[in-house]
């Protein structure tokens, strides 16, 4: 593969060639343990100085972001319609929001009805270009159903490790797409570790977020779409549902790419929203020692004991003055109903957490008049209907 990108360790800053598959920095990850967030996460770096001279944003859009993706050609991209999801401007007559603007980026319109398709598509395309036919992942449901969907389209084999408590609708999606489903007695974190063991033993390609660096660059494409949809600008504030921190870092990475190329001059305020019952990322932001509290929330997609992308998330948040916040499960349920009834967008609990964050921010008087505020709605409410019947 041409050297249009390299991998950089966020800890030691060592750079690695893209000539072979790599997940973590071998030195910094040597002492990682399953009970703590991993060190040695890799960030994909492009030749921004050269790109400044050779490409405009309109040209980047026409080539479907190829110059800022770790691929040789978009011919390896799945044939499904991934991305290009709608951006909704909410109606103030219905929402009663008049002093500022509320926007919703609805990624439930992706093929598997989840934001996760952005990462799965890039991982699958990379695997195709490198003659890899089997991809494995750990998932609470969305990443697994996404991988199964994309692999079915690409003629690849998907193997998905899931905790037994994963919602039945998501498990059905995985089965219907023909993936191998491996139920795990335990949590998402247990499934994660088992998938890593299977990767080492069988040589499968691993899609896991917070492990495979491509997942971040897949998710950053939402920012490029926003920039295009808003006519070369971004919202003032973006609310991101957060578990492992990979969507959060994808949003930061996309914005940072635009800054590096001189197309925007500042980072939007990015808010990491977690459930109170699974707040291991934002609760530890300023702590001296990382402390895990077992997760218990209706928002299964962001229910994580060990946030795998913790250190990159904290680096981005400290560098760009990002904020973290929590919402209760009751606030998540309420936000989902409010969003469905006032905007027509029915979001799953994890996605509704971001809307709950916006509503909480607004109620606390922290949203400036005239500001543009965006909620990332990352999955369909039909993914987990039992939650809304409780």
Q: What is the domain range of residue 279?
A: 87-114+215-389
* CA–CA distance, 373 with 358 (Å, rounded to integer): 8
Domain membership of residue 11 (yes or no) is no
Domain membership of residue 247 (yes or no) is yes
Q: Note the pLDDT tens digit of each residue in 49-108.
A: 999 999 999 999 999 999 999 999 999 999 999 999 999 999 998 999 999 999 999 999
Res. 362 pLDDT band, cuts 50 70 90 = very high
Using the 8-state DSSP alphabet, how is residue 13 labeled? -
Q: Note the pLDDT tens digit of each residue in 185-202.
A: 988 889 999 999 999 999
Task: Detail the DSSP E strand segments found in 146-220.
Answer: 157-163, 180-184, 205-206
Domain membership of residue 9 (yes or no) is no
* CA–CA distance, 16 with 192 (Å, rounded to integer): 24
- Look at residue 1 and tell me whether its pLDDT is greater than 60: no
Q: Which two tokens stand for residue 329?
A: 């499960």
Confidence at residue 354, expressed as pLDDT on a 0 to 100 scale:
98
Domain membership of residue 149 (yes or no) is no
Res. 3 pLDDT band, cuts 50 70 90 = low
Domain membership of residue 147 (yes or no) is no
Is the CB of residue 85 less than 8 Å from the CB of residue 356? no
Q: Which two tokens stand for residue 266?
A: 């500042």
Distances (CA, A) of 93 to 88, 98, 339: 15, 8, 14
Domain membership of residue 263 (yes or no) is yes
Pairing mode, if any, of strands 134-138 and 101-106? unpaired
**What is the strand order of the sheet 5-9 is part of?**
15-16, 5-9, 42-46
Domain membership of residue 225 (yes or no) is yes
Distances (CA, A) of 387 to 162, 332, 356: 18, 11, 16
Give the three-class secondary structure for 347: strand
Q: Which two tokens stand for residue 331?
A: 């606030």
Is the CB of residue 140 less than 8 Å from the CB of residue 163? yes
CATH number at residue 99: 3.40.50.1100
Using the 8-state DSSP alphabet, how is residue 300 labeled? G
Instruction: Count the domains in the chain.
Output: 1
């Amino acid at each position: 593969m041409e050297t249009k990108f390299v991998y950089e360790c966020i800890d030691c800053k060592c750079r690695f060639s893209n000539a072979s598959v790599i997940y973590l920095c071998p030195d910094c990850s040597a002492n990682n343990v399953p009970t703590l967030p991993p060190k040695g996460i890799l960030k994909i770096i492009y030749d921004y100085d050269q790109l400044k001279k050779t490409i405009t944003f309109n040209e980047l859009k026409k080539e479907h972001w190829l110059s800022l993706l770790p691929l040789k050609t978009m011919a390896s991209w799945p044939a499904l319609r991934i991305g290009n999801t709608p951006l909704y401007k909410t109606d103030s007559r219905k929402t009663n929001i008049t002093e500022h603007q509320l926007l919703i980026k609805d990624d439930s319109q992706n093929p598997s009805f989840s934001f996760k398709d952005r990462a799965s598509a890039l991982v699958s395309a990379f695997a195709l270009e490198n003659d890899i036919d089997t991809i494995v992942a750990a998932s609470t449901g969305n990443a697994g159903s996404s991988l199964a969907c994309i692999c079915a389209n690409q003629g690849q084999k998907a193997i998905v490790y899931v905790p037994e408590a994963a919602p039945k609708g998501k498990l059905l999606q995985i089965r219907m797409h023909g993936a191998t489903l491996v139920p795990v007695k335990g949590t998402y974190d247990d499934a994660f570790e088992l998938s890593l063991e299977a990767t080492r033993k069988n040589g499968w390609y691993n899609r896991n977020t917070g492990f495979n660096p491509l997942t971040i660059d897949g998710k950053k494409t939402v920012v490029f779409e926003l920039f295009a949809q808003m006519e070369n600008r971004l919202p003032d504030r973006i609310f991101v549902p957060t578990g492992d921190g990979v969507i959060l870092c994808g949003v930061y990475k996309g914005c940072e790419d635009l800054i590096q190329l001189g197309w925007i001059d500042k980072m939007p305020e990015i808010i990491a929203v977690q459930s109170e019952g699974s707040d291991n990322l934002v609760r530890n932001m300023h702590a001296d020692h990382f402390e895990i509290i077992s997760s218990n929330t209706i928002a299964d997609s962001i229910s994580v004991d060990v946030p795998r992308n913790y250190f990159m998330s904290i680096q981005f948040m400290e560098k760009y003055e990002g904020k973290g916040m929590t919402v209760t499960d009751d606030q998540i349920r309420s936000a989902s109903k409010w969003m469905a009834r006032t905007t027509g967008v029915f979001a799953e609990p994890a996605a509704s957490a971001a809307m709950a964050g916006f509503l909480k921010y607004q109620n606390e008087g922290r949203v400036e008049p005239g500001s543009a505020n965006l909620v990332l709605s990352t999955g369909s409410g039909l993914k987990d209907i039992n939650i809304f019947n409780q």
